[in-house]
Chain A
Amino acid sequence: DVKVTQSSRYLVKRTGEKVFLECVQDMDHENMFWYRQDPGLGLRLIYFSYDVKMKEKGDIPEGYSVSREKKERFSLILESASTNQTSMYLCASSSVRRDIPYEQYFGPGTRLTVT
């Protein structure tokens, strides 16, 4: 059974803290993604990665950075957390294989509250 796991389901941090969100997939997928989900806005792409050590900005990268040192792991970093980063964060992965093109597999999400 395919699996994407996220390090925490719920997280509470203070303004100004550095926050790390970890995502691991066991499907040997090339692509990994970080989204944030807010009511009425759907999913918005923060960053994505097509390969180890490669990263691309999504639609809302400001205030975030990412790291992909190993194929299975993609980390999202909030350099200095702010209250407007309170949100649900979803990690996803996908493959470029022809038989399952672009289908994304999602983790359970991390609900981050910044106080």
Chain B
Amino acid sequence: AQSVTQLDSQVPVFEEAPVELRCNYSSSVSVYLFWYVQYPNQGLQLLLKYLSGSTLVKGINGFEAEFNKSQTSFHLRKPSVHISYTAEYFCAVLKTSYDKVIFGPGTSLSVIP
């Protein structure tokens, strides 16, 4: 069965420092990959997605992620974080054949002033 692992449940980071949120998935077939963000008391919003093409994808607010097929990873990066980025971040995977999206357990990013 397909699964998504987010290795860090909580990531504290100081404001203006860089951050990487890790995501690994298990799948032997081609996939679509997504990162969603959930701010407190809100629903999820799409940050970025990988469908095909360039393995480095850019999303909103300067976030970027790199698809690594050999390592089955899709890590999210931000060179400098702002306190407003404190939120829950979810990695998600969908097989390219029509299927359900599988979400990871989430990583709670806390930006410390």
**Could you tell me which A residues sit within 8 Å of B by CB distance?**
4, 9, 35, 40-43, 45, 48, 58, 90, 92, 101-109
Given contacts A40-B9, A108-B43, A109-B43, contact A103 B105 (CB under 8 A): no
Given contacts A40-B9, A42-B106, A101-B51, contact A108 B42 (CB under 8 A): yes
List B contacts of A92 (CB < 8 A). 43-44
- How many A-B residue pairs have C-beta atoms within 8 angstroms? Tell me: 44
**CB proximity of B82 to chain A, nearest CB, Å:** 23
Task: Show 17 A/B contacts (Cβ-Cβ < 8 Å), sorted by A.
Answer: A9-B41, A35-B103, A40-B9, A42-B106, A43-B103, A58-B100, A90-B43, A90-B44, A92-B43, A102-B94, A102-B101, A103-B46, A104-B44, A104-B101, A105-B46, A106-B36, A106-B44
List A contacts of B51 (CB < 8 A). 101
**In whole angstroms, what is the CA distance A105 to B104 when docked?**
17
Does B34 contact A106, Cβ atoms closer than 8 Å?
A: no
**CB proximity of A46 to chain B, nearest CB, Å:** 11
Most chain A CB atoms below 10 A, which of B34, B46, B101, B104: B101
Given contacts A102-B32, A103-B49, contact A42 B104 (CB under 8 A): yes
List A contacts of B105 (CB < 8 A). 40-42
**CB proximity of B45 to chain A, nearest CB, Å:** 7
Additional A-B contact list (17), CB under 8 Å, known A42-B104, A43-B90, A103-B49: A40-B9, A41-B105, A42-B90, A42-B103, A43-B44, A48-B100, A90-B43, A90-B44, A92-B43, A102-B101, A104-B46, A105-B46, A106-B43, A106-B44, A107-B43, A108-B42, A109-B41
